[in-house]
Amino acid sequence: MDDRKMQDKSLLQNKDMLVYKTHSMKGKDISQGLGFMLLVLCTGTALVFLGSIIYFITIRGIRVISWEFITDVPRMAMMKGGVAPAIIGTFYLTLVSISFAFPLGLACAIYLTEYSPKGTIINIIRLSINNLAGVPSIVFGLFGFAVFVNAFGFGVSILSGGLTLGIMALPGIIATSQDAILAVPQSYREASLALGATHWDTIKKVVLPAALPGILTGVILNVGRVAGETAPILFTAATFYTRGFPHSIFSEVMALPYHIYALMTEGTHPEVQTQIAYGCALILLCLVLSVSAIAIILRQRQRKMYGQ
Amino acid sequence: MTKERFYKWIFTALAFSSLFFLLGIMITLLVQALPMFRQVGILRFIGGKYWYPTYSTPSFGILPLMLGSVVVTTGAACVCIPLGVGSALYIHELAGPIQRAILKPVIEILAGIPSIVYGFFGMVIMAPMVQRFFGIPTGLNAFTASLMLGVMATPTVCSIAEDALNVVPSSFKEASLALGANRWQTLVKVIIPAAGSGISTAIILGMSRAVGETMTVLMVAGGAACIPRSIFDPVRPMTATIAAEMGEAVMGSLHFHALFAIGLVLFVITFIFNIVAEIISRRFRLRLGLGR
């Protein structure tokens, strides 16, 4: 503030300039105050909105959840029992999708970072990754339905749904793996090459082990995203009701996100079903948010480790 | 050396998997949509005002569905641009180190809330509130859907916009402050213009997410396939149409192919959104002298 006073004093010599200065000082301070208030308001509104979603689902869902709800199969047309098959189904779908997308995504990330192709090739690959990431989830569902369910004859099954989800998770896995590999200091590679190791040996024995924690964190982050997806499994994997748990990779499954949708739109006891849907929504929210929270916290620690 | 080359070839081949799947999706949609375009014609399909796929003389005009998507997406933009960009500016400019250390991961975690949860919340809590507040016959309409979509896209827009703000070199800010501008002037006249294309990228990607979002609009938008007259009319956006009708469409029927044709239209729209975002963000990085 003292600096500013001195500045003003020096400006006294020029009267016009002083008038201009004091006048605009007021105006700009007011606009600054109003502007900052607006920003606080925006952030507050966003947080209140998002917070209230979590709040409502938590307090209404917690009443429904019991040990039986989590571990039992549905009984008496959903009126009794639990949603265990849906939880297990979501687990299987996520497992299939990640085991499909992880090797592919990692290979792609290794190619992009370690073999660093030039010009057109890298542009084409980047462009297709970005565009694949932007394809609407329902379009993945259509693709999975036409290709995996019908053309390949897998039927409505864990396999079809898992592969569909896997393709959808691919861009995310590539991006996170790429970040992890790029975070490995260049000096590691140089040291290895200087010791006479080949390019592939360097990747396998130096770069990948160093990047592994970051890569796994990225996978966890994507698990959270995949587990909550509904649209891609609508026609490829999910069903409202199964008698017990899925037997094979070719059976249709119940899945938590789809179950919420089905409870709200099908069936004959809307009130009871809404309560069950609250329970499912809370379980899904807990699963997805805790998985992504773990991933994000792990990632922050790793970033600190590399001093970024 | 053969081992080296072998691995290089494998990685090269696998690296093209994204392109492979992208082309696969495009070709599948084209092939499945073709019978539709052949029988009805592209113009009558896109410009047709009536969507009566199950009538005895069916009509496949997706104009009402496209307008549904447009209304809902525009509404979502009105919510998520101020909230998302505003909170990004807040985190960048006003939040102290502790607040920032909490807010950044929290926003990122909130970005992971599944769309079905937004749909469910919109249906059981938001819709009755909207219905009572405005005194309208149903709370399941374009307004509620826009609101939920907008809130849903907010964390995404916020975290991408925040990244864009962080990329602006701090020398820009220092120069502006040194010239006597206050923090707000610096923010509005220096930092926002410098990060402008990065922020636009964030908004476009948020919009792209809103156009392609399915579950929320399926549950909240009301599902009436007619041309909306006001924001409080129920609408049926394109994604919701596919999701709702795929189950009942007979395989190989014209209705079935029509749904794939809608998928193709959606694919093209989001493709354009993404290309535009890509071009803008590339220009942004070049302008700040960051290279690729």
Check if A163 contacts B (Cβ < 8 Å).
no
What pLDDT score does A12 carry? 47
- B24 within domain boundaries: no
Size of interface A-B (CB pairs under 8 A): 259
Which of the two residues, B58 and A4, has the higher pLDDT score?
B58
Binary contact (A142, B29; C-beta < 8 A): yes
The Cα–Cα gap between B158 and B150 comes to 12
The least confident of A7-21, A92-106, A261-275, B44-58 is: A7-21
What pLDDT score does A169 carry? 93
Task: Map tokens 């392109």 to a residue.
Answer: B19
The Cα–Cα gap between A104 and A211 comes to 16
- B210 within domain boundaries: yes
Binary contact (A170, B17; C-beta < 8 A): yes
Total-model pTM: 0.88
Contacts with B215 from chain A: Cβ below 8 Å: 230-231, 257, 261
B14, B19, B185 ranked by CB distance to A128: nearest: B19
Between positions 227 and 256 of A, the ones with CB within 8 A of B are 227-231, 234-235
pLDDT confidence of B292, banded at 50, 70, 90?
Answer: very low
Check if A270 contacts B (Cβ < 8 Å).
no
Binary contact (A277, B239; C-beta < 8 A): no
Contacts with B36 from chain A: Cβ below 8 Å: none
Mutate to test the interface with A, among B116, B179, B253 (most CBs of A within 10 A): B116
CATH 1.20.1560.10 for the A83-305 domain, yes or no: no
What is the 3-state secondary structure of B64-126? Answer: HHHHHHHHHHHHHHHHHHHHHHHHHHHHHHHCCHHHHHHHHHHHHHHCCCCHHHHHHHHHHHH
- B99 within domain boundaries: yes
What pLDDT score does A69 carry? 83
The least confident of A104-108, B222-226, B272-276 is: B222-226
Give the angle B130-A37-B108 at the CA atoms, nearest 5°.
65
- B113 within domain boundaries: yes
Question: Number of structural domains, chain B?
Answer: 1
What pLDDT score does A17 carry? 46
Q: What CATH number should be reported for the domain holding residue B230?
A: 1.10.3720.10
DSSP 8-state symbol, A80: E
- B179 within domain boundaries: yes
pLDDT confidence of A120, banded at 50, 70, 90?
Answer: confident
A41, A124, A234 ranked by CB distance to B19: nearest: A124
C-alpha distances (whole Å) from A143 to each of A150, B94, B114, B246 are 10, 45, 21, 12
CB neighbourhood size of B84 (10 A):
30
Domain region containing B190 = 68-248+266-287
Here the ipTM equals 0.90
Q: How far is B135 from chain A (nearest CA, A)?
A: 22
pLDDT confidence of A289, banded at 50, 70, 90?
Answer: very high
Examine the pLDDT at A281 and tell me if it is beyond 70: yes
The Cα–Cα gap between B123 and A122 comes to 44
A32, A43, A278 ranked by CB distance to B184: nearest: A32
| pLDDT tens digits, one per residue of B1-27 | 688 888 888 888 888 898 999 999 999
- Closest among A245, A108, A150, A235 to B18, alpha carbons compared: A108
B239, B251, B275 ranked by CB distance to A136: nearest: B239
Contacts with A41 from chain B: Cβ below 8 Å: 86
- B8 within domain boundaries: no
Q: How far is A20 from chain B (nearest CA, A)?
A: 13
* Contact criterion met (CB below 8 Å) for A227 and A287: yes
Q: What are the extents of the domains in chain A? A: 2-61, 83-305
| pLDDT tens digits, one per residue of A170-188 | 999 999 999 899 988 899 9
